[in-house]
Amino acid sequence: MRSTRAFAVVETYYDAAVSGADPIETRPGFLALLDRIEADGVRTVLIEDASRFARELITQELGILSLIKRVVRVLTAAGDDLTATDDPFKKAMRQIAGAFAELEKARLVAKLRHARILLKTDASALGPGCTDQEIGTACEVSLPTIARVRKTFVEQGLTAAVERQRPTGRQYRKLDGAQEARRIAVACSAPPEGQVRWTLKLLADRLVELEVVEAVSAETVRRTLKKTTSSRG
């Protein structure tokens, strides 16, 4: 953080040997900053510029979003307020960032659930050796899911069993230029009543509702959003 005449710097945080594209939630310096904020109520964070916070736009917005949730302002050395909410593009990016975070959380939950299935299946002397019914109740999964995870573990190993497998040979529908423009406009608009932000599924459902496309998956929306954020530099 840098000092200005308007602020007194009380602590400096820096992530050494960290790539600008590394996930924000894995950075020790950023996590220490969050601990300090929650401990003594710091309400302003100063950074040199947005690129020093994170190189990739989606990573920047995820970090800024986490600070906004804690009622913290992020100011650059030039005086720009990165937490300002009057910029439609920034608001849209934070909604998109939130959707990505939601997707990653769902993936992590699935990985942990599959790992628990394998641990409870362990019939060795040190394992619990639970029945499928017991595993299904404890992990809140169906019997076919238990069988599929166990079969994948035997045939392909631990990583394949824990990671959610993407369908092979599947072709996701692409949006043309006009449809992508409508998708961007929807993402920049206010989310549906009762929703804090646009999720991938909500965006997909709204595109169908507006008759932009006959059908589109949340995965297609995610892929086009990723392409859009990458093309903006």
Which pLDDT score, from 0 to 100, does residue 166 have?
A: 54
Residues of the chain above pLDDT 90, percent: 0
The tokens for 222 are 């995610």
Q: What is the DSSP-derived secondary structure letter of residue 195? A: -
pLDDT classification of 55: cutoffs 50, 70, 90: low
d(Cα 196, Cα 151) in Å, to the nearest integer?
Answer: 40
125, pLDDT greater than 50? yes
Distance CA 128, CA 55 (A): 46
The predicted structure's pLDDT at residue 3: 43
Per-position b or e across 80-101, b if 16+ CB within 10 A of its CB:
eebbeeeeeeebbbbbbbbbbb
Q: Per-residue pLDDT for 100 more than 50?
A: yes
What is the mean pLDDT of the segment spanning 53-74? Answer: 77
- Nearest to 205, CA basis, from 177, 186, 231, 224: 186
Q: What is the average pLDDT across 38-48?
A: 82
- By three-state DSSP, how is residue 44 classified? strand
Length of the chain: 233
Average pLDDT over residues 162-187: 69
State the pLDDT at residue 221.
79
Residue 137, pLDDT > 60, answer: yes
Band (11; pLDDT cuts 50, 70, 90): confident
